[in-house]
């Protein structure tokens, strides 16, 4: 059986069917035509496989979906135009008026906003549950609970969730589970191995890795992933063939990039742990981090995204940086810094239980030389006086 990195290079590619091209062609087309009505009808009725319309399927996008499904060790995956398109499709696939959603209170800010501003007004009850309380999931389930939505680790404060215990409780009640797995990528955490039904990614981040496209992915098995696919086709948030091609190119170097992100992130986190102006480093791989036992049991590695608390003004610290750029998102080649004080209320927990410290700085550690990045952080500390 081929190894993971071999699959990243070759799985799902029909080189002989594309004139031997080593990279898949970009099928930049809105529709596919047929030689006669009979063959068109057979594909439309599902009697045989074929391509009809790119919103439904496309050969370039199909290569990407096969690779991500193989990485996640699931039956299939679906590519979307953005991470939020993936989130929307999952929520609308399983929730109707009168249903109940259990949602991690430390989930991605726009996911929390969607639950509050779009899902609740449709008549869905939403319970925001902290990662610590998810250990007692049974306490938060109701007769009408139809979905449990997790993010582990959280992408600002990095709380971890025991996926296996959540999956056991939810499966006993036949409640689907989904986890945002963007931080770890399928290289370092495979939710399906812990019984989670769907793994969701902002592929904009580590999967593509170059900060030049928007992408969402959902991977899963059986009827649940097909249910999401039907919703995705109707919502129309499909990724373009061009962006799918770029994502395939990014996936080929995922293993190499993640190794460097991990090494750089650990290097800086250890340096920061010893700095007198840093009272706490929030990194799941830190042995002193709360929930580190979950990290050891669930993850095969760590990424380059973590936060730390600062004894000083975060905005002054960040404004003094030169290599670390200021911006949202993460997972690209470049290093980014984000002070929590600039985040809008929805991301800081307006109406939810998440309470971000105002002295938090999040770092997305990129692929630069780690010594140069540490020297840059010294500029931030020097600016504090």
Positions marked active-site = 55, 108, 180, 205
Q: Pick from 186, 188, 145: which is nearest to 166 by CA?
A: 145
Three-state secondary-structure class, residue 292: helix
Output DSSP code: residue 53: B
Q: Which two tokens stand for residue 113?
A: 């906003």
> Chain centroid to CA 203: how far?
6
Residue 376: CB atoms within 10 Å: 18
Residue 153: CB atoms within 10 Å: 30
Mention every residue, 6+ apart, whose C-beta is less than 8 A from residue 362: 156, 305, 306, 307, 330, 337, 338, 340
Long-range contacts at 342-346 (CB < 8 A, ≥ 24 apart): 342/315, 343/109, 344/109, 346/109, 346/110, 346/112, 346/113, 346/116
Pairing of strands 360-364, 177-180: unpaired
Three-state secondary-structure class, residue 78: strand
State the Cα–Cα distance between residues 347 and 185, nearest whole angstrom: 22
Q: Is the peptide bond before 153 cis (omega within 30 degrees of 0)?
A: yes
């Amino acid at each position: 059986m081929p190894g993971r990195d071999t699959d990243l290079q070759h799985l799902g590619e029909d080189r002989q069917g594309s004139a031997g091209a080593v990279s898949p062609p970009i099928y930049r087309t809105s529709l596919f035509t047929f030689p006669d009505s009979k063959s068109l009808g057979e594909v439309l009725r599902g009697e045989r496989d074929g391509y009809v319309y790119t919103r439904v399927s496309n050969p370039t996008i199909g290569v990407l979906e096969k690779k991500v499904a193989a990485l996640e060790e699931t039956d299939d995956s679906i590519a979307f135009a953005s991470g939020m398109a993936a989130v929307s499709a999952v929520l609308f696939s399983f929730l109707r008026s009168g249903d109940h959603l259990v949602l991690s209170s430390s989930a991605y800010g726009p996911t929390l906003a969607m639950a509050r501003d779009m899902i609740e007004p449709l008549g869905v009850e939403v319970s925001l549950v902290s990662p610590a309380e998810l250990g007692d999931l049974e306490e938060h389930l109701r007769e009408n609970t139809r979905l449990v939505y997790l993010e582990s680790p959280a992408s600002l404060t990095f709380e971890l969730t025991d996926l296996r215990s959540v999956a056991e409780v939810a499966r006993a009640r036949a409640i689907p589970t989904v986890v945002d797995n963007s931080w770890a990528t399928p290289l370092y955490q495979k939710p399906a191995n812990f019984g989670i039904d769907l793994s969701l990614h902002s592929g904009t981040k580590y999967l593509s890795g170059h900060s030049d496209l928007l992408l969402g992915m959902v991977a899963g098995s059986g009827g649940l992933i097909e249910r999401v696919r039907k919703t995705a086709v109707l919502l129309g948030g499909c990724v373009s063939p061009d962006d799918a091609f770029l994502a395939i190119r990014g996936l080929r170097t995922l293993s190499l990039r993640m190794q460097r992100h991990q090494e750089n992130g650990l290097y800086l986190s250890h340096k920061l742990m010893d700095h007198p102006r840093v009272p706490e480093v929030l990194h799941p791989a830190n042995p002193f981090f709360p929930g580190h036992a979950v990290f050891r049991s669930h993850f095969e590695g760590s990424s380059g995204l973590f936060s730390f608390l600062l004894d000083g003004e975060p905005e002054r610290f960040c404004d003094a940086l030169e290599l670390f750029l200021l911006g949202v998102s993460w997972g690209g080649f470049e290093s980014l810094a984000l002070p929590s004080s600039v985040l809008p209320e929805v991301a800081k927990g307006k109406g939810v239980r998440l309470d971000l410290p105002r002295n938090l700085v999040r770092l997305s550690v990129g692929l630069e030389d780690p010594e140069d990045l540490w020297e840059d952080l010294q500029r931030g500390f020097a600016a504090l006086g």
